[in-house]
Homo-oligomer: A and B are copies of this chain.
Amino acid sequence: MTAIAPIPNTSAVASSPDTPKTIDWLAIAHDFMAVVGERYVVRTREELLAYECDGLISYRQQPALVVLPRTTAEMTAVIKICDRNRVAFVARGSGTGLSGGALPLPDSVLIVTSLMKKILDVDFDNQRVVVQPGVINNWVTQAVSGAGFYYAPDPSSQIICSIGGNVAENSGGVHCLKYGVTTNHVLGAKIVLPDGEVKNIGGKIPEMPGYDLTGVFVGSEGTLGIATEVTLKILKSAESIQVLLADFTTVEAAGSTVSDVISAGIIPGGMEIMDNMSINAVEDTVATNCYPRDAASILLIEIDGLEIEVAESAKRIEAICYKNGARNVTSATDADQRLRLWKGRKAAFAAMGRLSPDYYVQDGVIPRTKLTYVLQEIEKLSEKYGYHVANVFHAGDGNLHPLILYNNAEAGALETVEELGGEILKLCVRVGGSISGEHGIGADKKCYMSEMFSDTDLETMQWVRDVFDPQGIANPTKILPTPRTCGEGAKSSYDAKYKLMDRF
């Protein structure tokens, strides 16, 4: 076997509907190797296995090739090769995304940013850092915490997920109630467009003049290009942090508490609710020994600020919890105790493995005022479809994470579970919410975009996409709906018009 064999799919037909031609993957692989070196072009079926899905493991697809550039220049050269050959490319960071944004496409190149992991600049005076996209979320805080700063967005996967992926999916986290999701913390970026051109968007200060292209890029899931440098805001660490754990005999009481806290003019760093099923799953798994197993729900509240402010807020929140019928309120101020209280929440998704071979996590948003109604409706849907649904959610933001438990080995289970998940999303939209809070749309939820947006609104998004990517090679078929994946034929004139986008 030669060094570069086997090359998959050498007879594949390229994607353009008007000028079909054979993709010469061997030549493309050689071109990539000339740029990044042989070691960083992954091409055997066995090695490609590691890249066939992201965190949405129910969908798998091997790409033709995986390339790992290390610099903006290498990224540019790699993307230019894709552009020249009109082959699709998909960007991937750590692969922890939950909507299939980094799911490879057939006959595509997967561009992985894991080797771009340098923190390029730290500027404490102006509270910003410049990082490469492969830098792990948690490293940013580690790099600046010594000087009393931190990076606010904190997905549960923060010890492994990358900043590039966070930017692509506009990730959130448990502390985004007070500080906002990723887009609120990105000042600018250096991006490589789908034709290989390098652009700077935004800058090093907030609110640059001109059109806010940073806002468009954040959350664009690799469809407008790939960032090679990202400038992030860092915040001053709070003087004091306190975590409260309240337990309730109904989920509704926890929900009302959340509304009452916000109405009292207090904005905690985060407010999280877990239901009984989730509580028991995490206690079985990580044994925090502080989540009461018989509670219908627990509410975790983190408060940060000046010491005196935190103490006062904690006192008021505790009173609001008891007024809403809390059985008990535990408080933690030192770091170890706080971590213990958070440990179960952070492990919640993983813990579902104790309850069920597989789970499917949804990411809907609802107005806080509809929480009780929506939870009751989810319970009804759970009964109707015959699958348990555990609820873990960023309650302060109204961002639900229903976890549908199922066994993928059962024939037809995934399809039914997806349908149930879809019903939950439609319910979220019906009450004035959204089909995504922080996980993105990716491959998983694009067929629900039409629930939220009219044809004409989707067309506007397509226009913007076409401007950045006229050949349609940057993560095509993701985000915007196409008939193939919705499983219902062309759903709308929008779908019909853009069905060519489905050519990959």
- Residues in chain A within 8 A of chain B (CB atoms): 125-126, 148, 170, 172, 180-181, 183-184, 197-201, 203-216, 218-220, 224, 236-239, 259, 262-263, 265-266, 305-306, 308-309, 312-313, 365, 367-369, 398, 432-438, 440-441, 445, 449, 452-454, 456-458, 460-461, 463-468, 479-480
Contacts A215-B212, A308-B309; A199 near B365 (Cβ below 8 A): no
| A460 and B213 contact, Cβ closer than 8 Å, known pairs A203-B452, A237-B265, A239-B265 | yes
Contact assessment for A183 and B200 in the assembled complex, using a CB-CB cutoff below 8 Å: no
A126 to chain B, nearest CB (A): 5
Which B residue's beta carbon lies closest to that of A207? B181
B-side contacts of A172, CB under 8 Å:
207
* Count of chain copies: 2
4 extra A-B contacts, CB within 8 A, seeds A207-B219, A209-B219, A308-B309: A184-B184, A210-B453, A211-B464, A211-B465
Residues of B within 8 A of A218 (CB): 212
Measured between alpha carbons, how far is A166 from B216 in the docked complex, in Å? 20
Please tell me if the beta carbons of B209 and A434 are within 8 angstroms of each other in the complex: yes
**Distance of A3 Cα from B223 Cα, bound (Å):** 54
> Is A432 a contact partner of B205 (Cβ separation < 8 A)?
yes
Residue of B205, B215, B467 touching A215 (CB-CB under 8 A)? B215
The answer to whether B467 and A434 have CB atoms under 8 Å apart is: no
Q: How far is the CB of A409 from chain B (nearest CB, A)?
A: 31
Question: Are A211 and B219 touching (Cβ within 8 A)?
Answer: yes
Report Cα–Cα, A464/B183, bound state, in Å: 19
Q: Tell which of B183, B238, B441 touches A212, judged by Cβ atoms closer than 8 Å.
A: B183
Inside 8 A of A449's CB, which chain B residues have their CB? 209-210
In the assembled complex, the Cα of A299 lies from the Cα of B214 at a distance in Å of 33
In the complex, chain B residues whose CB is within 8 Å of the CB of A461: 210-211, 213
Q: Which of B209, B432, B435 contacts A204 (CB 8 A)?
A: B432
Return A480 CB to nearest CB of chain B, in Å.
8
What is the CA–CA distance of A197 and B460 in the complex, to the nearest angstrom? 11
Find the B residue at minimum CB distance from A124. Answer: B263
A211 CB contacts on chain B under 8 angstroms: 216, 219-220, 224, 461, 464-465
Known: A309-B309, A441-B210, A461-B211. A197 touches B456 (CB 8 A): yes
How long is the Cα–Cα vector from A461 to B201 in the complex, in angstroms? 10
Chain B positions within 8 Å of A468 at CB level: 463
Structural contact, A464 and B465, CB atoms closer than 8 A:
no
Residue of B nearest to A464 (CB): B211
Tell me whether B369 and A125 are in contact (CB under 8 A): yes
CB of A368 to closest CB in B, whole Å: 7
> Residue among A211, A215, A367, A433 with the most chain B CB within 10 A?
A211
